[in-house]
Structure 1
Amino acid sequence: MKISLVEEITGISASTIRYYEQINLVIPIRDENNYRNYSDSNVETLLEIKLLKKLGFPLKVIEKIINKEMSLQQGIDTAIHNLEQQKSDIDDSLQLLNLLKESHHDKKKIDTRIYVGKLFDFKVSNHPFIDFCDSISDLLAKYTFTLRKGFYPEEIISTPRDFTLELLRYAQREEKTLEILNESMHPVIIVNGRQYQAIRTFEKYGIPIVYFKPKSSSDDNTIHQ
């Protein structure tokens, strides 16, 4: 069946289905004209992925379950642990947002420096409130000469494959076109037609982050490393 029909049956967008293809969760058959032909088994797999994601399973865990590398029971235990951590993060975010609301009732500008320190008092990584602070930084960056580009990875990056998966997640999440020129721990990528070097690093408080460093023509030799 065509991707449009699969999209209608599963309620999963075509772009997300193609993303699952990129990470080999769904492998359609190619006909003689090299067009994708999705099977009933592909549809069942997509519905299983949709259900597990709805239940809070991380994509890495779903991959292992689909590939028979992890039992469903192990996946459930991992999902429960992650949801409990997310609940804790949300509670912390609500506390900080209420603090912001109370202290900035009549103010039009937020001094994020005051709250970043409070944020890291919680000693958690990938905290939802980080995104709030980051969005403020992006707004302020419009008035500076250098715009920082990057994202906070959803999971630990310890191998080139991990890095590739996080970049694909970023592109799918942000609805950007992304091409990975070399799979490594310092991959060269093209985002919306512009070339960057993706760099995994850590912020001052140990928060993992991926930066996009613009590449110049003099850096082209690094593509083939």
Structure 2
Amino acid sequence: MTKLSVNINKIATLRNARGGDTPNLIQFAKDAQEFGAQGITIHPRPDERHVRYQDAHDLKTEVYTEYNIEGNPIPKFIDLVSVIKPDQVTLVPDAEDAITSNAGWDCVKHHSFLRETIDEFQKQGIRTSIFLDPSLHQVEAAKATGTDRIELYTESFAHNYAIGNSAAIKPYTDCAVLAHELGMGINAGHDLSLNNIKFFKQNIPNLLEVSIGHALISESLYLGVENVINMYLNRLES
């Protein structure tokens, strides 16, 4: 079964909007796990506009499923991950002023940097994953960095699927097949939703984990968090 990791950044955004502690990020992470989520994902950014670096520390003792911290490996981020030692670190090349992640790594251009960073995390016993566009060339280049997994950046698939272009899944399927052949695990995330997750899962072999935040939280406004988490779990079973 593909694991569901709930990205809780949007809960932090809502909390920060009022300057208090409601909704409580830690309690939400506990509840999400109790409702069936098999992991918690956070993406702290340098300006701490949603998840704060202190949140990352506070969550360490409360995430008993799988703790995934994603972000651009600037020195401050590397230091944070090295102290917390989550189950997984997902490297994302987002600019500091990016609203959200909008591209995967160029693993050829940044080979040396990624190789060095991944090696450091792996020495600490932290599983590594690289955020990647659905390109066979980049999958091959990712393998050369030594990463344990790739995370397929699924915005393009989600956009095309929403307008009826289901053929947009093909490059993702091809990349998943190649990644598995090369011995890398396969994760996926970005704009996956209740509307597209079942189709995506059915067409991506060996999919280990999806990280879903924005859609899941938005859907929960109408349907409730516990209900939505279980709806995702049901779709991921098929």
The TM-score normalised by the length of structure 1 is 0.30
Higher helix share: 1
Per the normalisation by structure 2, the TM-score is 0.29
Larger RCO of the pair (alpha carbons < 8 Å, separation 6+): 2
